[in-house]
Chains A and B, each alone.
Chain A
Amino acid sequence: MGAAVFFGCTFIAFGPALALCLLTVAGDPLRVIVLVAGAFFWLVSLLLASLIWFISVQLSDRDNGQLQYGLLLFGAAVSVLLQEAFRFAYFKLLKKADEGLVALSEDGRPPISIKQMAYVSGLSFGIISGVFSVINILADSIGPGTVGIHGDSPHYFITSAFLTMAVVFLHTFWGTIFFDACEKGRYGTLGLVVASHLLTSGLTFLNPCYEASLIPLFLLTVSTGAWAFFTAGGSLHSILACLPCKKEESDSVMVYSTLRRPAED
């Protein structure tokens, strides 16, 4: 009985990520390595962020609810900034690794492009952050109870799952845009990515007024996706060229876009 909710929510939250992993990452050992290492970088950033938050809570007046709420906001912001900092660090690391791979390869071409690495690392950040935000909720969704006895929304589980799905997508898109911006030295774009991450994090504080958080969040996801699509080298023209395939899943398209090698210029 509760198992239905558990599997439903798991599929919603991680279905797209699972499909992406199985069909685009699992086949290539290098991508798997990038995926796992990316998850590790994200974990380290979370460790630092929670340390900072924990210490600040210990040092502050614990009975002051207002202050603690403020600290939570602060902690969330710090966590976002740290995540982006670690994304940058990871970019630098992959850059170095890429040079090494170029030196090793026979035809002088890297076996994995920066774009591909951007996509995979974005996906890894997305998956691991999704797992960490939803795992507790999934564990309790098995039942027998459901949320609501204290007056919370009964749609808590399913909205949490959709939120997680959005977060997975957003991280993937951010990864693509972020790496591209780093590559091309576009600091304004970097700032935009960080700002949209902060915005996402802030939106979750509107929970459990889900209408106020989910709708903007999905709008943000779609627009970030479109942006990532163009960043990755897609265009209206290429969509038209693809029309016979009759598949225009916008989110997934964006994700795929990152796999392609961009124009040489």
Chain B
Amino acid sequence: MLYLELFLQGLLQGSIYALIAVGLTLVYGLLRILHVAHAGLYTLGGYFGVLVYNSSGSLMLSGVVAMFGVGILGVIIYRLCYEAILDQPPFVPLIASIGLFIAMEELYRILFGSYGISYANPPLQQMLPLGGMYLREGEWVTILVSIILIGGLAWLSSHTRLGLAWRATVTDPQMAESFGIDPIRVRYFNFFIGSALAGTAGMIVGILNNLVEPTMGSVPSYKALAIIVLGGLGSVRGTLVAALALGVVESFGTIYLGNVLNRDAIAFVFLILVLMVRPQGMFRGI
């Protein structure tokens, strides 16, 4: 039973990682940028969620604001920050992105205070038994939302014209452009979707912890990088599997290796070991 519970907790953490990392891998697949500031958008999703919920009391409304608000902000960040430096060597956007992330975290701290904000009357906290497992409502919702959103994304990319244009641009930007696809619009779309997913993840984590603080993005910022690298950089399918695998490895690792290494170190030992065996990540080319 303990194993099953650890496994489920790992999957839960993994599905949150997945929501964050998919956006990052989309950006990487299209533009070859390691978009660290993505985690800043994730934090913003948490803030949108808690602020709107506390003032309106509607979970639906706060979800919509967190998703679309953050999505639009992601597009603005691309337009103002990355567009001009796309042709630079990769560490230029990387440092720019890290600078942006530090500035965002500090801005949240100054605007919303360093102690964080809690939900006035926390939603989705009841325990709900399902198949012998006791999880909070919020945790079931997390799993459900991740499945719906990522499933929706898969459908979007395989069954719509927009998705077709998107995949074409990732595969061969020039060829796609000569077929009349507007690459700029595809990029906007890409940033919108990725950021909206991160915003949703931020709101979910805010509800689960019942706390939104300025630094909540610090851990996901680098862990999501580890995940997309494990997944083979730019492969959405690989990222999903890597996110879930990392969640499970961490959940077991903290129990069995907790007194030798902390959670972050376990994640990165796993990363380094996998990369030494498969330098292109777990799933490139699968």
**Are A and B part of the same complex?**
no
